[in-house]
Each structure stands twice: as structure tokens, then as C-alpha cells.
Structure 1
Amino acid sequence: MDMLQIVANGVPAGMMYGLVALGIVLIHNGTNVVHFGYGEQITLSAYIVVISQVIFHVPFWLACLISLGLSALFGLAIYLGILGPLRRTPLIVQVIATLAIGLGIREGLRAFMGSDPWPFPALVANQVYELHGVFITTANIVVVTVSIVIAALLFLFFRFSRYGHAILAACESPRGASIVGISVTQVSAAIWVLASVLAAVAALLMAPVLTLSPDMGLMAIKGFCAAILGGFASLPGAIVGGVLLGLIETAAGYYISTATKDMVAYGALIAMVMFMPQGLLGKRRLKKV
């Protein structure tokens, strides 16, 4: 039963890491940029819900919709206003720009909302169910269900839609996509919008579980770990890596100590980078020199 309980607790945590990793991998595949401010975008999306409720007194469900919409617009603004104009600059410049975006969001939230944590309502009333000695909460059920639905929708979108095919083509070969008439600029903007919507979804799932504060975005480090474990260019690998990371953390917390679970998880990441740098579902690429 211990192992089943570890799975019941580890899979939902891993699914949250996988959602964060999905957004990171999407942006990386589409623009070749690692977005180090993605965690702060997640935090901002959660704060939008709180601000909508506290200041404008809108219902929770409407505040969630507002967060989804504003997050999409914010992602579009980041690309059109910052990353798009910088696309021909050295990659390190774009990476520093994402770091600046994240720091700006974090310190802006700290200045206007304070450093104290804010309560965040749960999507559903949290109840605990026992199934043959294994305890399962409704919050975990929602996390797993929403994550599976999003992963399935992304698969269907990229597998069967023409626009999904265009995005994949532009990610694989921007020059070739331009030759056949695909607008790489529009595709890149769409990727930023999609990744920002994923950030808002992750915020709605994570904020009730974690402490909502300006520093909540630091947990995106786990999303980067999940992306690396699964293969940084693989969307399915983001989910697989997240689940694996969640299981490793939960098992370490149960069998060793909760104080060591992060250390064990990062140790597994280091081992993966050393012995399987392409990740679980990534492809080894040969580079001619």
C-alpha cells in the first residue's frame, strides 16, 4: 500500500511539474529560447485572479477566465514587444531578457501586493477518499484530469490541425516554413500565447496547493527539471519527466526524509544529464563541426 500511496501523491505533483515543463518546452521549440521568467508568469496569472476578486469583486469563475485571457495577451505582448524584436540578437541576449521579465514581474508583485502570502480558493471543495487503504483527494483528481485533458488536446492539435502542422513545421525549419508561405512571426506569437495560457492553467492548479506569494514562481525550477528529464525538445517528455520527478520526490520524502526530497530529485537530474543528456524521450542529435 505504501507504494500505491506514493503513486497517488507523486503523480499529481508530477503532473503540475509537467504542465510547467510543457510551456517551457513549447517556447523553446518554437523560438529556441529558454524562458527563465515562466515561473513568474504563472505567479502573475494567479495574482490576476486574486486582484479581480479583491478589487473588482468578480466571481471566482469569472476571475479565472479573466486570468486566462490576460495571460494570453501578456504572452503576446512579451513576444511582440520584447522577444520578437530581439530574435536576431545573440541567444544570450534573449535569455537575459527573459530573466529580466521574470524579475520585473516578481518585484512588481512584491511592490504592489506585498510579500505576505495571499489565500487562493480551490477549484473544487477538497475531500479525501479512501480506496483500499489509499487516500486520494479531489484536488489531486482535478490536477490529474486537467493535465491529461490538456496533454490530449495538445496532441490532437499538433497531430490533426493544419495550424498545428504549421507550428511544427516552423519549429523544425523556420526557413523552410517561410519558403512554403508559413509566417514564422505569427507562429512564434501563437506559441507564446499558447504557453502563456498554459501558465494560467498551471497557476489555477498550483496556487491552492502552494503559498501564493511573489516567490511562488521559483518552483518553476521543478518544471525545468521535468523538461530536462523528459527531453527538452519533447512535449510528451515534459509530462513523463514531470511524473517521474514527482514520484522521485514523493518516494524520497516517504522513505528518507521530506528535507531530502529536493536533494534526491536534483541528484536524479544530474545523473540524467551525465548519462542520458538527451532525456527519456529526447533524440540524440549529431552536429557537424
Structure 2
Amino acid sequence: MSYFIELIVSGLAVGAIYGLVAMGFAVIYKATGIVNFAQGEMGMLTAYTTWSIAVTLGTGGILTVLIAIVVGALLGLICERLIMRPMLGEPVLSVVLVTVGLAVVLRSIVTIIWGASPHKFEVAGADRIVDIGGIGMRVSQIGVLVTLLVALAGFWFFLRHSRFGVAMRAVAADEKTARLMGVSTARVQAVAWASASGLAGLAGALFAVIYGLTPTVFELGLKAFPATVLGGFDSVLGSGFSGLLIGVVENLVGGYLPSTLKEISGFVLILVVLMVRPFGLFGEKRIERV
């Protein structure tokens, strides 16, 4: 029984990281209608940049988190302004392919600057074990769970009760009508990219603190993608919660079944769910008149 609980707890920790990345996928899709396939690479580049700054300045845990958010948001703004904004009005497929190209470029930049060798991302106190009901958890694992909950609460308030959040929802519902009402779609897109990249950067840095920093951090995007599909592309909060579910399922499969099945467990889960709810667990069913 204790082994089962340990798998659940560790699955929640990695699921929280998936949830942060998945929320980024959903934010961009909700504001622009496209899927950013460079989400994992943006998190990886932010993690490496944050690591370099943390090593140079000797920052603590909270400051490291703030640096990751700021670096990630700046990276998102740069990518949006220089690469994505010129693509406004272009076919969706063309824009999606641009994000694929961006992913390859960011991956190459990391390898060129930092190399392929793994690094230890040390943050004071992150590896300390805390006993919770007989289950030992590292401070870093508790921290990532708290971070996801704070992000979920923050985005719930932002989307429901802020003017800009309402504007983002309006653009997602009907972009042309939102423009006629005076909403700046370019500004909404910029904020969406900054927010999504900040979430990805935060997830990448936290993952590196817990599991180490390697060029394979970009795979977080691939592993978190099922959480966005499961939660619903138009549901930012649902994507975050679904990340927890994907993490737990993945850990349980890896603990009780052959390890080769662990990598595909998330995709198998979304296949099963989508056959019942094609719009995801938390997504809204769209009705179109013909």
C-alpha cells in the first residue's frame, strides 16, 4: 500500500509540471487558435538561462522561481514579436509549422551554448525530505504542487475577473467581433505568448531542480500535450488539473507494468477519453449551425 501511495505522490509532483506546460498550450490556443509546438523548447531554454543566472548570482528558491517566470515571459514576448506577429492573418497550418521550426531552432541554440552534458541544478533546501503522513516528499516536489495550485488560482481570477482576461476570452470566442468592439488582438496574442512561455519556463526550471538539467527537458512539451487534449484545448484550468491525472497514470503504469508502456500511457488515456468526450474532460462542446 505504501508503494502505491508513493507512486501517487511522485506522480502528482511530475503531473504538476505537466500541468504548468499544458496550461501554456491552452493559453495560446485560447487566445490565438493555434498549437505552439515549441512549448517544451521554450521551457528548456528558460531552464538553462535560469540555471546560468542562479549559478552566477547564487540565488535561493523563491528568487530562482521569479527569474524563471521573468526569463520565460521575455522569451515569449521576443518570439511573439519577431516570429509570430508577422504571421497574423496567415493560414493556421502555416503558423503551426512556424512553431515547429521555432522548436528546432531553440533546441539547437541550447546545444550550441550549453552543450549536451547534464548539469545539476542546485537550489538550497530543495532536496530536503519532509515527512507527510509517513510519506517522504522533497521540498522541491511540494513546491511544484503549490506552484501549480497558485497558477490555477491566478489564471482563474485573471480570466474571470480582469478586463484583459475578459478580452482574451472574447478573442477566443469570436476574433472578428472582438476586433469590432475595440479589442487589440495583437496585444492579446503578446500577453498569451508571454504567459504561456512563463509557465513553460517555470515548469522547465522546476523539473531541472528535481530531476536534473539536460537537453531532453524539451520532451516536457510532448509529455504535457496529452494533458491539454484531455482537459480541453479551450480550458486553461482543465489542462492544469489534467496534468496531475496524466502524471499519476504515467507513474502507476511505470510502477506496475512494463516500463515501455509508461511513455505511451498518457496518449492511450486521451484516446479512451476522446472517444467518449471529443472536446476533453473540461472543454466546452461547440455547436455550429450549418
Q: Same fold (TM over 0.5)?
A: yes
Match of 1:59 in 2: 58
SS at match of 1:224: helix
> 1:53/1:138 Cα in 2 relative to 1: closer, same or farther (>3 Å)?
closer
Q: Is the 2:21–2:220 contact (alpha carbons within 8 Å) kept by the matching residues of 1?
A: no
Amino acid at match of 1:47: Y
SS at match of 1:84: helix
1:199, distance to aligned residue in structure 2 (A): 1.7
Q: Is the 2:18–2:247 contact (alpha carbons within 8 Å) kept by the matching residues of 1?
A: yes
C-alpha distance in structure 2 between counterparts of 1:64 and 1:130, whole Å: 24
Match of 1:175 in 2: 176
Match of 2:285 in 1: 284
Aligned length: 287
Structure 1 unaligned runs (5+)? none
C-alpha distance in structure 1 between counterparts of 2:58 and 2:173, whole Å: 42
Larger mean CA deviation between 65-74 and 215-224 belongs to 65-74
SS at match of 1:117: coil
C-alpha distance in structure 2 between counterparts of 1:213 and 1:246, whole Å: 20
Match of 2:230 in 1: 229
Structure 2 unaligned runs (5+)? none
**CA offsets per residue over residues 126-148 of structure 1, 9 Å max, x none?**
22233443332222111111110
Q: Is the 1:45–1:67 contact (alpha carbons within 8 Å) kept by the matching residues of 2?
A: yes
Q: How does 1:60-209 map to 2 (within 5 A)?
A: 60-61=59-60, 65-122=66-123, 124-209=125-210
C-alpha distance in structure 2 between counterparts of 1:60 and 1:260, whole Å: 38
Larger mean CA deviation between 80-89 and 206-215 belongs to 206-215
* Residue identity (%): 30
Match of 2:248 in 1: 247
Larger mean CA deviation between 168-177 and 3-12 belongs to 3-12
Q: Is the 2:26–2:233 contact (alpha carbons within 8 Å) kept by the matching residues of 1?
A: yes
Q: TM-score, normalised by structure 1?
A: 0.92
Larger mean CA deviation between 271-280 and 234-243 belongs to 271-280
C-alpha distance in structure 1 between counterparts of 2:90 and 2:149, whole Å: 37
Q: Is the 2:15–2:246 contact (alpha carbons within 8 Å) kept by the matching residues of 1?
A: yes
> 1:85/1:240 Cα in 2 relative to 1: closer, same or farther (>3 Å)?
same
> 1:259/1:130 Cα in 2 relative to 1: closer, same or farther (>3 Å)?
farther
SS at match of 1:116: coil
Q: Is the 1:106–1:215 contact (alpha carbons within 8 Å) kept by the matching residues of 2?
A: no
> 1:271/1:125 Cα in 2 relative to 1: closer, same or farther (>3 Å)?
same
1:123, distance to aligned residue in structure 2 (A): 6.3
Match of 1:216 in 2: 217
Report the aligned-residue RMSD. 2.0
> 1:52/1:125 Cα in 2 relative to 1: closer, same or farther (>3 Å)?
closer
C-alpha distance in structure 2 between counterparts of 1:110 and 1:52, whole Å: 17
Amino acid at match of 2:215: P
Match of 1:273 in 2: 274
Q: TM-score, normalised by structure 2?
A: 0.91
1:63, distance to aligned residue in structure 2 (A): 5.9
